[in-house]
Each structure stands twice: as C-alpha cells, then as structure tokens.
C-alpha cells in the first residue's frame, strides 16, 4: 500500500527530474492502484468529467484488480498504452484541494 505522502514524494521527484532534464517523459503521467489498495484510500481526488477520469493533483488515477499500485512517469505510462492527451501538468497540493 502507498500513502498520500509517498505519492507526493514520487510526484515531486519526477517533476524535479523533468526540471533538470527538460524531458517531458520524466514528468508525472499516471497513478495506478490495485483495487484492494484503492478501497479505503483517503486520497483527495476529483472527477470533473467521465472522460477526464479520477485525478489527484491533475494526474490521472486508474484502478483495477490487475493493476500495480504505482506512480508512473509519462514515458512509462505511454509504454502501458496511455494516450498523451490524458496527461496534465502537476498541480500544487494547495491548487488540487477538492
């Protein structure tokens, strides 16, 4: 199981890597949860439309019995078959409150 604090650390590290390299593939791209890890997760998420899906700090969340609980860079998310149009800029914690 992953905590909100751990997710925030991973997101910050990915964004810092992008800031150093300028490589868009280093930016945060996707958060996945194994279904049992998601149940009871107290993560402040939002969903403004079905197409946009569940988001935390602008980063899309996908939940499935078959998924690994993990934070993915954009480059790794693309290898999973994600669509680049689903990526958003990482929002500050203050800007992402729901």
The tens digit of pLDDT for each residue in 33-82 reads 999 999 878 888 988 888 889 999 999 999 999 999 999 999 999 999 99
Task: Indicate the pLDDT class of residue 98, thresholds 50, 70 and 90.
Answer: low
The pTM of the full predicted model, rounded to 2 decimals, is 0.92
Gap between the Cα atoms of 86 and 25, Å rounded: 13
Terminal Cα-to-Cα distance of the chain (whole angstroms) = 23
| Domain positions in the chain | 4-96
Joined tokens for residue 5? 């604090």
């Amino acid at each position: 199981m992953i905590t909100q604090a751990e997710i925030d650390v991973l997101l910050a590290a990915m964004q810092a890597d992008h800031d150093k390299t300028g490589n868009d593939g280093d930016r945060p791209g996707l958060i996945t949860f194994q279904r049992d890890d998601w149940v009871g997760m107290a993560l402040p998420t939002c969903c403004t439309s079905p197409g946009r899906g569940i988001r935390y700090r602008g980063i899309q969340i996908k939940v499935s019995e078959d998924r690994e609980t993990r934070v993915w860079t954009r480059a790794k998310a693309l290898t999973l078959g994600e669509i680049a149009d689903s990526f958003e800029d990482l929002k500050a914690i203050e800007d992402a409150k729901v």
